[in-house]
Structure 1
Amino acid sequence: MTFCFASSFVNRRGSKVMAEWRGVSTQQIVEKVWLSIAERRLRPGVQLKEEKMAEIFDVSRARIRQALASLKREGLVDILPNRGAFVCKPTVGEARDVFFVRRTVERCVVERLCRSATQTDFGRLSDHVDKERIANAGNITTDIIKLSGGFHLLLAELASSDFLFTMMRDLVSRTSLITAVYRKADYFNCGPDEHAEIVDAILQKNVARAVRLMAHHLDHVERQLDLREVNDYSDDLSSVFA
């Protein structure tokens, strides 16, 4: 994903809104909403009102509806008949279920890669981890969030299974929402080192080690969830997307 940040302009009421959103694409709106959730500025359960979002992004309500439909497919938004669109609010039980399923799916992925990964695959994985290191060194939040989940999607892609990739894409989206709701305030990801260790185990075709490292990695992510934390979110969409 490519994330866009906006400067401001003055609307007809004289208030500041975001100039660079004029004429933005559906995907750019999707990415901005996703990032606002991941950065914990958009509260789970808040309503995404079409009219207000169309004003903020200076696009038609039809384009906003397209963006909301895409977010619904990614498991980030609920669209309720006669009520509208709301940011999904996963429960503690749902969070645990997602990690339970991820452990099973990602075990299958690394087992398959240990048998089938090529040198080209290792090159792509190594390049990805290098990008993660650069993002972490520069504290580039948007890239950190994007690349952290992207690593797991790349593993699933290289496993050459459309079914596993589709499942992983859904699970990564849901995990992003879960970590946005429950993670500790200073936590964005586990860093590239654990990913690098997993790649090394796959390169060595050491199935047992790769499976163990992936399980440890997911345990690490889950341990960062603070289910008792009360998050400070804003319901004001203008301030969220400013």
Structure 2
Amino acid sequence: MTEQAGASTQQIVERVWLSIAERRLRPGVQLKEGQLAAIFDVSRARIRQALAALERDGLVTIIPNRGAFVCQPSVDEARDVFFVRRAVERCIVERLCKSISKVNVTRLRTHVSKERTANAQDSTTDIIKLSGGFHLLLAEVANSDFLFATMRDLIARSSLITAVYRNTNRFNCGPDEHAEIVDAIANGDLSKATGLMEHHLEHVESELDLSEIRDLPHDLRSALA
């Protein structure tokens, strides 16, 4: 089979991400180029492109002379990330309640609509990505480079934490809560918007099982099936 018939870089990224999100590929496991190239029937060059994209998304750590590994957030890091998110997202909500354009309100509501579609289709990858994307979009429309850069890092870490520690039976960083936040922001209701965001982040954190990561097999082919 030629490489053209093999997986694309994006398909490889999505498969690895889904395996992490579904808790089949465990934190700390090494993503060996040779094995991945055989699994996806592509060259090592394409695998390196995919690993670089996964590193940018905060899912993989590439260590010189050692290789690529699935990131391994600790329980303490998970708690720290949500502690910082509360402060940063409150600042974002306060800024948006003071001034947000109708165009940006529409952008937020369109994003929530995409979340509803992902939930209806039970698409784990899209649910997690769009959930984090909503909070990143809030930072974007707040028009602050600093807040956006801070949230981009926090969201990348949160997405991996959610994938690692999510209680698979109860995960639902729901579009309903996001929609309520957007409505409060659109109405300029600071007290309600900040209260809803605080409740929302508490809800998300409560659906994480912040205990020891369960032992999973190291076999890449099984994890990526």
Q: TM-score, normalised by structure 1?
A: 0.84
Deviation at 1:20, TM superposition (A): 9.1
Deviation at 1:91, TM superposition (A): 0.8
CA separation in 1, counterparts of 2:48 and 2:113?
37
Contact 1:145 1:189 in 2 (8 A): no
Match of 2:189 in 1: 206
- Say which of 163, 167, 172 aligns to 2:146: 163
**Closer/same/farther in 2, CA of residues 108 and 28 from structure 1, 3 Å limit:** farther
Gaps of 5+ in 1: 1-10, 12-18
- Say which of 81, 94, 101 aligns to 1:111: 94
Amino acid at match of 1:217: H
CA separation in 2, counterparts of 1:21 and 1:110?
47
Between 1:132-141 and 1:94-103, the stretch displaced more is 132-141
Match of 1:153 in 2: 136
Match of 2:17 in 1: 34
Match of 2:62 in 1: 79
Contact 1:144 1:188 in 2 (8 A): no
State yes or no: 1:132 paired with 2:115. Answer: yes
Amino acid at match of 2:203: H
Deviation at 1:21, TM superposition (A): 6.8
Q: Secondary structure at the match of 2:30?
A: coil
Between 1:213-222 and 1:76-85, the stretch displaced more is 76-85
State yes or no: 1:56 paired with 2:39. Answer: yes
Amino acid at match of 2:219: D
Q: TM-score, normalised by structure 2?
A: 0.90
CA separation in 1, counterparts of 2:117 and 2:57?
27
Q: Secondary structure at the match of 2:61?
A: strand
CA separation in 1, counterparts of 2:150 and 2:40?
31
Match of 1:4 in 2: none
Gaps of 5+ in 2: none
Contact 2:139 2:148 in 1 (8 A): yes
Deviation at 1:166, TM superposition (A): 2.1
CA separation in 2, counterparts of 1:222 and 1:142?
18
Q: CA RMSD in A?
A: 2.1
Match of 2:156 in 1: 173
Match of 1:22 in 2: 6
Amino acid at match of 2:223: V
Match of 1:68 in 2: 51
Between 1:39-48 and 1:157-166, the stretch displaced more is 157-166
Contact 1:36 1:241 in 2 (8 A): yes
State yes or no: 1:142 paired with 2:125. Answer: yes
Contact 1:181 1:231 in 2 (8 A): no
Q: Secondary structure at the match of 1:139?
A: coil
Between 1:193-202 and 1:127-136, the stretch displaced more is 127-136
CA separation in 1, counterparts of 2:36 and 2:183?
45
Contact 2:21 2:125 in 1 (8 A): no
CA separation in 1, counterparts of 2:146 and 2:13?
24
Match of 1:195 in 2: 178
Between 1:31-40 and 1:218-227, the stretch displaced more is 31-40
Q: Secondary structure at the match of 2:31?
A: coil
What's the % identity of the aligned pairs? 68
Q: Secondary structure at the match of 2:171?
A: coil
**Closer/same/farther in 2, CA of residues 97 and 21 from structure 1, 3 Å limit:** farther
